[in-house]
Structure 1
Amino acid sequence: MAAPHTDRAAARSFARSLGTELFETAPAAGLYLWLDTDGLALCRAGRPPMCMRADFTRGAQGYRNARPGQRREAIARACGIRGDHCPWIVDATAGLGRDAFVLATAGASVTLLERSAVVHALLVDGLQRATAGGAADRTARMDPHHADAVEWLAQDFRDNPPAVVYLDPMYSGQRRAAAGKELALLQALSMPATDESALLRQARATALDRVVVKRHRHARPLADQPPDYHLPGRSTRFDVYRTRTD
């Protein structure tokens, strides 16, 4: 991890928590974490380097979240947010938390699960900066966990299971350039592939009301399991699997 112009003790402690070394400058090749006054970023060496960070208040994400009407977004409608009804949602494939932030902005309490320690660190850093930057009312409704989703969802929830489990597995196909760069960096982390069948099966066994899966509009249903219905968009769709039996 490279950390110029930062608190050295804090940076050293942070690097130790991730099991990585601390350097003054970026390496000439490969992936590395970059920590500066703008926050934590995952980068791949090059000219220029390719970097990504979780940022909820600036750029395209900041513009999206500054607009009114998050409850009218397809993701909020798919997750059942309406009127005074703001269900507890588990985002089981949280990534950098963008969709979870939209759901929290719409009023839902969101538990975010991320199995990659590096991506989880990026997510936590982004939430901390968003809190300091004036979004504390939304980040207070977001609870990030470094956890395997299948294992976490299998715990005994007694009489209080999450109403909704939201899934956004990485998919291939045409994506916006920025999203393509981010996908390339995530794939470069070489994480083991998700068992989509096991993830969907556990999500359906856990969610009280529904499971919502984000898919490319032309992609097959997750694990080839047809949903009860879907909400289409221009480039993505939201497949909804109802789990309530009453």
Structure 2
Amino acid sequence: MTTANPQQLAVACSPLGDSRAAHLLADTLQLPYLGVVQPRQVKDYQMLMFFDDRGLALQVTGKGAPGPVRVDFTAGKAGYRREHGGGTGQLIARAVGLQKTRNPLHILDATAGLGQDAFVLAGLGCRMTLFERSPLIHALLADGLARAQLNEATAPIVARMALMAGSSIEWLQERGVDAADVIYLDPMFPHRDKSALVKKEMQLFRPIVGDDDDAPVLLATALEAATYRVVVKRPRKAPAIAGIAPATKVEGKSSRYDIYPIKALPRD
């Protein structure tokens, strides 16, 4: 995994932000703490881990900067999808095999990111283990999960989501065979097609998180550890991860799911 220079980052908060949590995060991430600031007036840092009245966000600094990126499972896209999603007919649900089994699945999301896909699967009854090795993204995701636990509609869903820090590769190697029913991967790849970077969060995260150059190792490890299948999310026209070819795929308008079956899912 390649990462960018952390000196472009600092931690700060708004007048209504949690300054104690901001101090703690700055110490944990070993980043400068700027105190109470207005992001558009910050010139010495390109981005802030910023606490405001809605929790933690990643915020670009300077005049005319885009709005913050945060994890919010209670509203926005996640909230709409929770209320109006297509159930097991959704592409990701079909890819992991929810239409093929009535058994509740344990799914390991090895590259959790902002947790959006894991939230969808947890909402469909799956027990999720989420790994996010970037401390920055892990902090955003932990904040979003904590706030979702306080919401009546989302609390039962995030109760099925266990967030872990560190490398999923090491964890899977230690657990070995049958570490999870399904292992789900959505790695950040060195893919330069601008069409794959339309999402604001991807544009922000690539400079500070870098590419998952060890994705082939992660795939090989996942294939040794999953019970039923490994599923890899990719931009629709991007190449598959190097190594064994997927047996089948499920395609959408902008993305696809490469499926690596190991054995049939249980029917009952």
Deviation at 1:44, TM superposition (A): 2.0
Deviation at 1:185, TM superposition (A): 1.0
Deviation at 1:69, TM superposition (A): 3.1
Q: Give the TM-score taking structure 2 as reference length.
A: 0.84
Aligned to 1:164: 182
Deviation at 1:175, TM superposition (A): 4.0
Q: Give the TM-score taking structure 1 as reference length.
A: 0.91
Aligned to 1:58: 75
Deviation at 1:205, TM superposition (A): 0.6
Instruction: Using the TM superposition, name which of 200-209 and 65-74 deviates more.
Output: 65-74
Aligned to 2:150, which of 123, 128, 132?
132
Aligned to 2:204: 185
Alignment gaps of 5+ in structure 2: 1-10
1:70-111 Cα deviation digits (max 9, x unpaired): 221111111122353221000001000000000000110010
Aligned to 2:219: 200
Aligned to 1:80, which of 65, 83, 97?
97
Structure with higher RCO (Cα < 8 A, 6+ apart): 2
| 2:224 alignment partner AA | A
CA contact (8 A) 1:108 1:141 kept: yes
Aligned to 2:25: 14
* Identity across matched positions, percent: 37
| 2:12 alignment partner AA | A
Figure out how many residues of one structure are paired with residues of the other and give that number. Answer: 243
Deviation at 1:224, TM superposition (A): 5.1
| 1:14 alignment partner AA | L
Q: CA RMSD in A?
A: 2.1
Deviation at 1:157, TM superposition (A): 5.0
Aligned to 1:155, which of 164, 174, 184?
174
Change (3 A) 1:206 1:216: same
Measure the CA separation in 1 of the matches of 2:218 and 2:20: 39
Q: Does 1:243 align with 2:262?
A: yes
Deviation at 1:13, TM superposition (A): 2.4
Change (3 A) 1:46 1:110: same
CA contact (8 A) 1:81 1:108 kept: no
| 1:41 alignment partner AA | A
Aligned to 1:37: 53
CA contact (8 A) 2:18 2:52 kept: no
Measure the CA separation in 2 of the matches of 1:61 and 1:225: 33
Aligned to 1:2: 12
